[in-house]
Structure 1
C-alpha cells in the first residue's frame, strides 16, 4: 500500500470511528448515568442514592431529576466518546499498518498488540474528560458541595481545588481497562469476523459462484459478541476507576486514595458482587451501542473507500 493510501486509510478509520461513537452515546447515556451511580454505591456515602435495579433507577432519576438527571454529563460523554472512538480507530489502524510491514497478514497476537497500544494512548489523552463526566453524573439534588455548572466549570474547579493531577485520578485502572478491554474486544471482533467471512465466502461460492460482503446484521452480531466478552473480563476496572474519580467529601479528603485501597475495601465489605455493580446497565448500554458502533463504522468505512475508488 502506498504511503498516501495508508494515510487516507488511517484518517478514514478515524472519521468512521468518530461518527460511530457520536451516534451511540446519544441513545445510551441514561444507562451510563445509572451504571456510574451503581458503581460508586459502596453503602458508605450518604450522598449517593441507592436503587434496587436498573429499571427502578431510570424511573427514579427521571421522576426526581428529570431529563437533566438522565443526561447528566452528556457533553463530556459525547466529547469523550467521539474523540476516543476516532483516536482509537486511528491508532489501531496505524498500529496494524505498521505491524503489517513485511507480513501477509496479522496474527491474533499482533491484533492484540495493536488494540492495546491504541487503548493506552487514548486513555492518557482522554482521562480528564471521563473524570468530569463521572463527577457530573454523580451530582444529585442532595449533593452537599457546590455543584459544577457544567463541563468547563468542573474542569476549572477540579484544577483550582485539587490541582491538575486530580484530572488523572483513575488513570491506572483506566489504562488497564482501556488496554485489556480494547484488546479483548478488537481481537475477538477480528477473529470472529475472519471466521464469518470465511464461512460466508465458502457458502456464497458454493451457492452462487460469488462471494458476498458481510451484512449489517453480521456487523451488529460481531460487535455485540466481542463487546460482551470484553465486559465480563474487564468490568471490575470500571468500578475501581469510578470510585477513584468521585468528588472528595466536604473536608476535601478523597473517598479512596488509590486502586489498591479500592480493591481491598470492596473485596472485604462487598465481595465479588461489589466489583460488578451496575453491570446490567452496562450490558444494556454497551451491547446495542457496540453493535451500532460497528455497523456505522463498517458502513462509513465502505462508503469512504468507494468514494476514494471513484476519484
Structure 2
C-alpha cells in the first residue's frame, strides 16, 4: 500500500479508536458528570441554598428524588458529543502530529505534541459546543425548576433556537476554547510519560520495541496521571463555561452576561473556592475516565493495526 494511503488509514483508525474510547467512558461514569455540573453552577450568594452537601449526598439525593433518569440526565448528548469529540480529537491530533513529523526526521518533542493537541482541541470545540450546551442544560433540570422542562435533546435544541436564537448554541465558546489547553496539557503529559515508559521497558527487557510491551495497566497509569495534571491547571474554565450555559431565568434574562461577569460574581461571592466547585466529583469521574479512554484507545488501535496488517 502507498505510504500516503497507509498514513490516511491510520488516521481513520485513530478516529475509530477514539470514538469507541469516548463512548466507553461516558457510559460508565455519566452520573458523576451530572453531579459535577450541578455543583459547578451552584453559587455562594446569600439567597441560594445548597442542594447537596457532597458528591455522595448528591448521588443519593438525585437517585431518591429523580430516579435513574436524573442520574443519567443529558446522557444522549453526552454519549453523542463524547463519541464525536474523541473521534474527531484523535483524528485531528494524529493528522497534526503527522504534519509536524513530515518536517522532522527525529521524534516529536513536547512543543509539537502541545501544538497538535491545541489544534485538535480548537477544531473539536467549534464542532461540538452546541452539543455540550444542550447536555449542560439537561443535566441542570430538576423537579424544582419553574421553567418548562426540555423533553430531550432535540426538544432542547429546537426550544433554544426558537426562544434564544442560534448564537446561544455557542455560549461558553470563549472558555471552551481556553479549555483547549486542558487537552493540550493532557496529551503532552501523556505522550512524554509514554515515551518514558517505553524507554524504561526497553532498558529493563533489552527489547528494541518497548512500545509493544506496554499493557493496560501502563495505559491506566499514564491516562490518570496526564488527566490529573490537566484538571488541576484548567478546572476554573469548566466552571465558567457551565455557568454561562445555564438556562435563562423565567423572565428570559441570562444568569450571567459573559465570561468576565462570571469571574467577577464568582470571585465576589465565593472567592477562589468557587472556581473549583465540583472538583471532587470531577476527579472521581475524569481520572478513571481518562484511564478507560486511553486503555480502550490504545488497545482498539493496536487491534485495528494488527487486523489491517493481516489484510
1:204-231 CA-to-partner distances (Å, cap 9, x unmatched) read 11xx898551011000000000000000
- What is the count of residue pairs matched by the alignment? 308
Could you say which residue in structure 2 is the equivalent of 1:15?
A: 16
The alpha carbon displacement at 1:45 in A equals: 9.8
Secondary structure of the corresponding residue to residue 274 of structure 1: helix
Could you say which residue in structure 1 is the equivalent of 2:282?
A: 282
Alignment of 1:69-88 (within 5 A): 69-88=70-89
The alpha carbon displacement at 1:9 in A equals: 0.6
The alpha carbon displacement at 1:48 in A equals: 8.1
Could you say which residue in structure 1 is the equivalent of 2:215?
A: 215
Secondary structure of the corresponding residue to residue 86 of structure 1: helix
8 Å contact 1:29–1:70 — kept in the other structure? yes
Alignment of 1:266-281 (within 5 A): 266-281=266-281
The alpha carbon displacement at 1:268 in A equals: 1.3
Compared with structure 1, are the counterparts of its residues 121 and 210 closer, same or farther at alpha carbon in structure 2 (3 Å cutoff)? closer
8 Å contact 2:44–2:274 — kept in the other structure? no
8 Å contact 1:17–1:82 — kept in the other structure? yes
Could you say which residue in structure 2 is the equivalent of 1:192?
A: 193
Could you say which residue in structure 2 is the equivalent of 1:304?
A: 304
Partners of 2:14 and 2:117 lie apart in 1 by: 14
The alpha carbon displacement at 1:78 in A equals: 0.2
Partners of 1:251 and 1:65 lie apart in 2 by: 26
Alignment of 1:17-96 (within 5 A): 17-44=18-45, 50-96=51-97
Secondary structure of the corresponding residue to residue 141 of structure 1: coil
Partners of 2:286 and 2:261 lie apart in 1 by: 28
Structure 2 alignment gaps of length 5 or more: none
Secondary structure of the corresponding residue to residue 275 of structure 1: helix
Query: Quick check: 234-243 or 103-112, which moved more?
Result: 103-112
Could you say which residue in structure 2 is the equivalent of 1:108?
A: 110
The alpha carbon displacement at 1:27 in A equals: 1.1
8 Å contact 1:10–1:94 — kept in the other structure? yes
Partners of 2:233 and 2:62 lie apart in 1 by: 29
The alpha carbon displacement at 1:304 in A equals: 0.6
2:191 is equivalent to residue 227 of structure 1? no
Task: Give RMSD over aligned pairs.
Answer: 1.5
Partners of 2:257 and 2:209 lie apart in 1 by: 60
Partners of 1:56 and 1:278 lie apart in 2 by: 13
Secondary structure of the corresponding residue to residue 102 of structure 2: coil
Partners of 2:169 and 2:46 lie apart in 1 by: 22
Partners of 1:66 and 1:44 lie apart in 2 by: 28
Give the TM-score normalised by structure 2.
Answer: 0.96
Secondary structure of the corresponding residue to residue 276 of structure 2: coil
Give the TM-score normalised by structure 1.
Answer: 0.96
Partners of 1:227 and 1:159 lie apart in 2 by: 34
2:172 to 164, 170, 173: 170
8 Å contact 2:183–2:230 — kept in the other structure? yes
The alpha carbon displacement at 1:55 in A equals: 0.4
Query: Quick check: 262-271 or 81-90, which moved more?
Result: 262-271
Partners of 1:92 and 1:220 lie apart in 2 by: 20
